[in-house]
Amino acid sequence: MIGEVWLRALHLIAVISWMAGLLYLPRLLVYHRDTTPQSASSETFKVMERRLLRAIMYPAMVASWGLGLALGLAAGVFAEMQAWLIVKGSAAAGLTIYQFWLANLVERFAQDERPHSQRFFRAINEIPTALMIVIVIMAVVKPF
């Protein structure tokens, strides 16, 4: 059986990878937004977005959840559902929902739609940062 320290290390690696994608993908959409549909640059962005989602973000999300649950079981934190854990889990669920929403936007771009403005994509880029702050505070400080 893998030790708790290794679970924690692997979980952190997965979360960092996932967060990198969650922060980078909206930036790609900012720049993709102003390309001409079916232009060479638009097609390049489509490939970059698809690969980021499929090769990094989905595997990192699954690993983050799987390793996080395994870590919680190993540490015994699920024995008594404390408020901090519920808030942390809810914020992680928020990141998951956010990723699927981004995936929908990527699909729309793949169909040469141009939903929303650059300003919109810059604004939504702050969502994962806010959720990450909540998650880290809950996991480290456990304020309640």
Quick: pLDDT tens for 50-76.
Answer: 999 999 999 999 999 999 999 999 999
* Cα distance between residue 61 and residue 93, in whole Å: 10
- Above pLDDT 70, what percent of the chain? 99
Q: Which residues contact 144 (CB under 8 A, 6 or more apart)?
A: 82, 83, 84
- 3-class DSSP state of 3: coil
Query: pLDDT averaged over the chain?
Result: 96
Which residue type is seen at 94? G
pTM, full prediction: 0.94
Residues 29 and 105 sit within 8 Å (Cβ to Cβ):
yes
pLDDT of residue 122: 95
- 3-class DSSP state of 113: coil
Q: How confident is the model at residue 1 (pLDDT cuts 50, 70, 90)?
A: low
For the segment 34-44, the average pLDDT, to the nearest whole number, is 97
Into how many domains does the chain fold? 1
Q: Which residues contact 72 (CB under 8 A, 6 or more apart)?
A: 78, 85
Question: Which domain covers residue 20, as residue numbers?
Answer: 4-140
Q: Mind giving me the DSSP string for 75-117?
A: HTTTSS--HHHHHHHHHHHHHHHHHHHHHHHHHHHHTT---S-
Predicted confidence (pLDDT) per residue in 4-37, tens digit: 999 999 999 999 999 999 999 999 999 999 999 9
pLDDT of residue 2: 83
pLDDT of residue 80: 87
Which residue type is seen at 4? E
pLDDT of residue 106: 98
